[in-house]
Amino acid sequence: MKQLLIASTSTLHSGGYLEYILDALPLHFKNANEIIFIPFARPSGISHDDYTKKAAEAFKKINIKVKGLHEFDNPKEAIKNAKGIFTGGGNTFVLVKALYKFDIIETLKTAINSGTPYLGTSAGSNICGLTMCTTNDMPIVYPPSFKTLGLVPFNINPHYLDPDPTSKHMGETRETRIKEFHQFNTQPVVGLREGSWIEVKGASIQLKGALQARIFEYNNEPYEIETGTYLNELK
């Protein structure tokens, strides 16, 4: 059974790395004493080793070992054999370019669709959608495609941010950007606020965390959903 936690962010302003979601992880990774971390999104250009260390420190609190995917000679085999997979945030363009470079898009899809529990935060959540076209990241490298894993039948916008009515800045609000996305694309977009995550269990897709999420559908006005809402019909 497919099992995913697709989280808006790794870290809340008031907390430590993965702290707000840590309680959900022992159950999610219940059959894993070791998981594989995909460090390729490299926030602030951090090295794969350093980023993996950071993830390992958080998972140590729940007695799960973490090994970086970059430590394996054969990343495809590593993913096939993984008991759990976590992809951290950073830059989605950098992440997706690396996934294509190591040719592991299909391997990841197959493993996760076959039941390997997956956790994504931020960029690691973006790639769960149909495309990475609703990332907030700067396009600092050129990936060979914007197509991502399609583990859910919509796109994710992590770190969703409500418009600031007092702002004098003329850059587009997040809502404007997603509406522009729908001038050229038809799949729904889930705007996940920091502190929210989506839990996928087989065919069930549910909003978790304390906050509402904002749903953008093609040719519809955006609307709010409460935590606990099922998104099984959103496609």
User: What residues are annotated to the active site?
Assistant: 122, 137, 159
In the numeric block, which tokens belong to residue 163?
A: 């418009």
d(CA 104, CA 111): 10
Query: Where do runs of H (alpha helix) occur along 40-191?
Result: 48-60, 75-81, 92-101, 105-113, 123-126, 174-184
CA dihedral 27, 161, 221, 165 (to 10 degrees): 150
> Restricting to residues 36-55, which ones interact with its own copies according to CB under 8 A?
42-45
Question: Of the candidates 183, 203, 210, 219, which one interacts with its own copies according to CB under 8 A?
Answer: 183
Q: In angstroms, what is the minimal distance from the CB of 101 to its own copies?
A: 13
Would you tell me the crossing angle of helices 92-101 and 105-113 to the nearest 10 degrees?
A: 100
Q: In angstroms, what is the minimal distance from the CB of 186 to its own copies?
A: 12
Does residue 165 interact with its own copies by CB under 8 A? no
Question: Of the candidates 31, 81, 114, 145, which one interacts with its own copies according to CB under 8 A?
Answer: 145
Question: Of the candidates 13, 203, 226, 228, which one interacts with its own copies according to CB under 8 A?
Answer: 13
In the numeric block, which tokens belong to residue 105?
A: 């898009």
- Count of residues in contact with its own copies, rule CB under 8 A: 42
Contact 4, 151 (CB under 8 A): yes
Contact 103, 109 (CB under 8 A): no
Choose the stretch contacting its own copies; rule: CB under 8 A; options: 49-57, 75-83, 161-169, 210-218. 161-169
8 forms bridges with which residues in the sheet?
none
Closer CB to its own copies, 1 or 140, in the complex = 140
Question: Of the candidates 63, 184, 203, 221, which one interacts with its own copies according to CB under 8 A?
Answer: 184
In the numeric block, which tokens belong to residue 2?
A: 């497919």
> Restricting to residues 64-93, which ones interact with its own copies according to CB under 8 A?
91, 93
Please give the DSSP secondary-structure letter assigned to residue 40: T
Choose the stretch contacting its own copies; rule: CB under 8 A; options: 25-33, 111-119, 162-170, 196-204. 162-170
Q: What are the C-alpha distances in Å from 227 to residues 98, 201, 210?
A: 33, 16, 6
x/- letters, 107..126, toward its own copies (CB under 8 A):
--------------------
Does residue 210 interact with its own copies by CB under 8 A? no
Cα 129 to chain centroid distance, Å, stands at: 8
Residues that bind its own copies (CB under 8 A): 9, 11-14, 42-45, 91, 93-94, 132-142, 145-146, 159, 161, 168-172, 176-181, 183-185, 194
